[in-house]
Amino acid sequence: LNYKVHVVDIPISVDEIEGEFLRTHIATNGCCGEKELIKLQAYTLTQHSIVVHLDLDTIVLKPLDDLFDTMLQNTIAKKVIPAHHIMPKYLERNINSVDFIFTRDYNMAQNLKKSVGVQGGFFVLRPSLPILEEMKVLLRKGHYTPRKGWGDANFGQFFGSQTIQGFL
């Protein structure tokens, strides 16, 4: 199958995080603490047009062709359009390019809260070193609070909110 293994570390060390709360709590957040940030290294795979991140406990039941078509052709694939009816805010935007596709982790939502994180076990992205560098700046700043989340965006605390599930 010609697989290649890339051994990588997290994009920044915990010691680099300026925000005291995040620096002192990220190691115990979610399933894997700061190690979840390794997933951001998918942005470095610029030799590929699209990267699919799958955790080992994720299963794909249908082909992902519509997602790939949406990203590669910069048009919304016909089968993806129904998702826009579920999320009306996207109908109001003119989408020129799709660079990141994800699902929400509703299984981890507590009491049907408004804040539901990204399902960190599956996402599709367009690799970009400049985007990764921007993310590293945000991670180093570490502006995370338990009540309001990243950058005080009012997308507060849930499982993994300090790492991938909340950061992305």
Per-residue pLDDT of the chain (168 residues; tens, 9 = 90+): 888 888 999 999 999 999 999 999 999 998 899 999 999 999 999 999 999 999 988 889 999 988 888 888 765 555 555 554 444 454 555 667 788 888 887 776 666 566 678 888 999 999 999 999 999 999 999 999 988 889 988 777 788 889 998 898
Q: What share of the chain is helix, strand, coil (3-state, %, to 5)?
A: 40, 10, 50
Is residue 161 domain-resident? Answer: yes
CB of 18 within 8 A of CB of 153?
Answer: no
How many C-beta neighbours within 10 Å does residue 13 have? 10
Give how many domains the chain has, as a whole number: 1
Q: Where are the alpha helices (DSSP H) in the chain?
A: 20-25, 65-73, 81-86, 129-141, 164-167
Is residue 65 domain-resident? Answer: yes
In angstroms, rounded to a whole number, what is the distance separating the alpha carbons of residues 17 and 116?
Answer: 24
pLDDT at 92: 56
pLDDT at 21: 95
Full residue range of the structural domain in which residue 83 is found:
14-167
pTM, entire model:
0.83
Is residue 3 domain-resident? Answer: no
pLDDT at 88: 47
Is residue 7 domain-resident? Answer: no
Is residue 2 domain-resident? Answer: no
The DSSP annotation for 72-120 comes to HHSS--TTTHHHHHHSGGGGGS--S---EEEEE-GGG-STT-S---EEE
Is residue 126 domain-resident? Answer: yes
Is residue 8 domain-resident? Answer: no
Is residue 23 domain-resident? Answer: yes
